[in-house]
Chain A
Amino acid sequence: MKNIRHILVKELKSYFIAPIAYIVIAIFLLITGWFFFSTFFLYNQASLRNFFGLLPLIFSFIIPAVTMRLFSEEINIGSYEILMTLPLTFTEVIVGKFLAAVAFVMIMLLPTLSYTITIAMLGKLDLGPIIGGYIGAILLGALFSAIGLLASALTRNQIIAFIIGMSVCFALTLIDKMLFFLPESLLGVMENIGADFHFQNIAKGIIDSRDILYFVSASFVALYAGNLVMQGKK
Chain B
Amino acid sequence: MIKVENLTKHYGEICAVNDIGFEIHKGEILGLLGPNGAGKTTFMRILTCYLNPTAGTIQVKDFNIKDHPLEIKQMMGYLPENAPLYPDMLVYDYLQYIADIRQLDKATKLLRINQLAGTCAIREVMHQPIGELSKGYKQRVGLAQAMMGDPEILVLDEPTSGLDPNQIIEIREIIKKIGKEKTIILSTHILSEAEATCDRVVIINKGKIVADSNIEDLKQSLGKESVIILAFRNTDFAAVQKVLSQVAGVAAVEKNDSNEGVLAVNVTCKTRDDIRNQIYAAIKKQDWQLLEFYQQIRSLENIFRELTKEN
Residues of A within 8 A of B (CB): 2-3, 6-7, 10, 13-14, 17-18, 77-82, 84-89, 234
Contacts and interface: CB of A to CB of B under 8 A. Distances in A.
Nearest to A73: B86
Contact of A6 (B70, B74, B82, B97): B97
Contacts, number: 61
Interface in B162-207: none
Given A6-B97, A85-B78, 16 more contacts: A6-B100, A7-B101, A13-B93, A14-B86, A14-B89, A77-B84, A77-B86, A79-B84, A81-B50, A81-B78, A81-B80, A84-B49, A84-B50, A86-B98, A89-B70, A234-B51
Contact residues of A: prevailing secondary structure = helix
Q: In this complex, which of A7, A77, A87, A89 has the most chain B Cβ atoms within 10 angstroms of its Cβ?
A: A87
A35 to B, nearest CB: 32
A25 to B, nearest CB: 18
Contact residues of B: prevailing secondary structure = loop
Interface residues on B, range: 20 to 34
Nearest to B76: A85
Contacts of B86: 14, 77, 79
A184 to B, nearest CB: 46
Contacts of B102: 86-87
B300 interface: no
A10 B103 CA distance: 15
Given A89-B70, A234-B51, A6 B101 contact: yes
Interface in B39-76: 45, 48-52, 70, 73-74, 76
Interface in B122-170: 145, 149
Contact of A85 (B48, B82, B97): B48
A10 B97 contact: yes
Nearest to A14: B88
A13 B92 CA distance: 14
24 contacts: A10-B97, A14-B86, A14-B88, A17-B88, A77-B84, A78-B80, A78-B84, A80-B84, A81-B45, A81-B50, A82-B78, A82-B80, A82-B145, A84-B49, A84-B50, A85-B50, A85-B80, A86-B101, A87-B70, A87-B74, A87-B102, A87-B149, A88-B73, A89-B70
A18 B88 contact: yes
Q: In this complex, which of B49, B50, B76 has the most chain A Cβ atoms within 10 angstroms of its Cβ?
A: B50
Contacts of B93: 13
B89 A85 contact: no
Contacts of A85: 48-50, 73, 76, 78, 80
B229 interface: no
Contact of B101 (A14, A81, A88): A88
In the complex, the 8 A-B pairs of residues with the closest C-beta atoms, listed nearest first:
A78-B84, A85-B48, A87-B73, A6-B100, A85-B78, A87-B74, A234-B52, A81-B80
Contacts of A79: 84-86
Given A3-B101, A6-B100, A234-B50, A86 B73 contact: yes
A79 to B, nearest CB: 5
Contacts of A78: 80, 82, 84
A6 B45 CA distance: 24
Contacts of A13: 93
B84 A2 contact: no
B58 to A, nearest CB: 14
A159 to B, nearest CB: 19
Nearest to B74: A87
B49 A77 contact: no
A175 B51 CA distance: 39
Contacts of B89: 14, 17
B146 to A, nearest CB: 9
A18 B101 CA distance: 22
B87 interface: yes
A89 B98 CA distance: 15
B3 to A, nearest CB: 19
Q: In this complex, which of A18, A78, A80 has the most chain B Cβ atoms within 10 angstroms of its Cβ?
A: A78
A6 B94 CA distance: 11
